Amino acid sequence: MAVEGKAIDALGQFELGTVLGPVGAAVGFTQSNLYMLISAGLIFVLMMSGMRARAIIPGRMQGLAESAYGFIDDMLQAQVGEAGRRFLPFVFTLFMFILFGNMLGLFPYAFTYTSHITMTFTLAGIVFVLITFVGISLHGRKFFGYFFPEGAPLWLAPIIIPVEIISYLSRPISLSVRLFANMVAGHVMLKVFATFVVMLAGLGTVGPFLAVAPLAMNVALVGFEVLVAFLQAYVFAILTCIYLHDAVHLH
Amino acid sequence: MDDPDSLNRRLKAARDRQGLDKPEAVKGGLPTSSWGFGLRAGVEVFSALVVGVGLGFALDRWLGTWPWLFVLCFIVGAAAGVLNLYRLFTPRSGARKD
């Protein structure tokens, strides 16, 4: 599958197909949707089974559930302040969904739904709508003062306002492109080096020995990808917090 | 003789002068590795340009003024990209002090 003729098929892993046989085909249920459901289920199981005991001395699952909760809670308090805690359910859901998507995608035969720009842009679009809505509902018309900093000379307004508006509109794009590009780049690299292993192993007697080099590279890359998977979920969550800070405090 | 803390204090002052102690990272800040920072900068410029180009293109198609609004929005988008970069390099004030 990886080697077709002499070409490396690194992008085939991102192709969408329907799962669950004719039922899935009829409603267009793709493997991307399937993995979204799986990750939502896993998050649900983690939080529910982790918090069922409600022990004073937490067990492993409870410790995991509590540290995930505390991590986002700390992040919101540090970035947005006390007013930010009301956004905890939103940011927590976002973070866990992206984290589980990134991590699940590293399993063999799994599909990474965060490697599709439509998916990440939808998430970023939700964040964008939320921060705009929060800004307008908290500050009313003063929210539009965000696009023109106080104290700037008035004759600069025709330049500053369009630039600020475009900078504001670029937020969901930078948010989604960063996550999407990181996931795609990582998975393409893994696939390319995995293909090198197969190609080199077929090179007669010396081949299998040469193939060790890309294999070692892939082992290192998988470790690196685990880091990237966590880091990108973290960056997405913290940028959401920073944007929420701007919306709540207007600078 | 000096009190026992004085050595620590002088040592701390000397280390600060020489810049030996790294300033404590702001808790919960964005990762600041050079690679991550570079990629972030690239994405910030790219996304502002995408918005500028897209907006100019759409406005031109709507108003039939090709290519003037496209050129204008491209320049404004580039300026917005530089503004994004400026924001990236300016340390943000944390929320705790507000």
Domain extent listing, chain B = 45-91
ipTM of the complex: 0.78
pLDDT at B28 over 70: no
* pTM reported for the whole predicted model: 0.84
* pLDDT tens for each residue of B55-75: 999 999 999 888 899 999 999
Beta strands in A54-112, from DSSP E residues, in sequence order: none
pLDDT band at A84 (very low <50, low <70, confident <90, very high): confident
Task: Work out whether the CA dihedral A110, A202, A209, A184 comes out positive or negative.
Answer: negative
pLDDT at A236 over 90: yes
Of A117-126, A220-229, B9-18, B57-66, the poorest mean pLDDT is in B9-18
Closest CA to A11 of A177, A187, A176: A187
Are A80 and A87 in contact by the 8 Å Cβ rule? The answer is yes
% of chain A with per-residue pLDDT over 70: 97
Distance from CA of A83 to the nearest CA of B (A): 10
pLDDT at B95 over 70: no
Q: Tell me which chain B residue has its CA closest to the CA of residue A73.
A: B28
* Alpha-carbon span A240 to A175, nearest angstrom: 9
* Alpha-carbon span A243 to A131, nearest angstrom: 7
- pLDDT of res. A87: 93
| Mean pLDDT in residue range A4-22 | 79
Compute the count of residue pairs across chains A and B with CB atoms less than 8 Å apart. 80
Which of A74, A162, A242 is the closest to B76 by Cβ? Answer: A162
% of chain A with per-residue pLDDT over 90: 59
Structure token pair of residue A193: 């080096």
The length of chain B in residues reads 98
Distance from CA of B16 to the nearest CA of A (A): 26
| Mean pLDDT in residue range A64-75 | 93
Structure token pair of residue A72: 């986002």
Q: Is B77 on the interface with A (CB under 8 A)?
A: yes
Domain extent listing, chain A = 3-249
* Alpha-carbon span A184 to A179, nearest angstrom: 9
Task: Work out whether the CA dihedral A11, A119, A236, A177 comes out positive or negative.
Answer: positive
The DSSP 8-state label assigned to residue A18 in this structure reads: B
pLDDT band at B96 (very low <50, low <70, confident <90, very high): very low
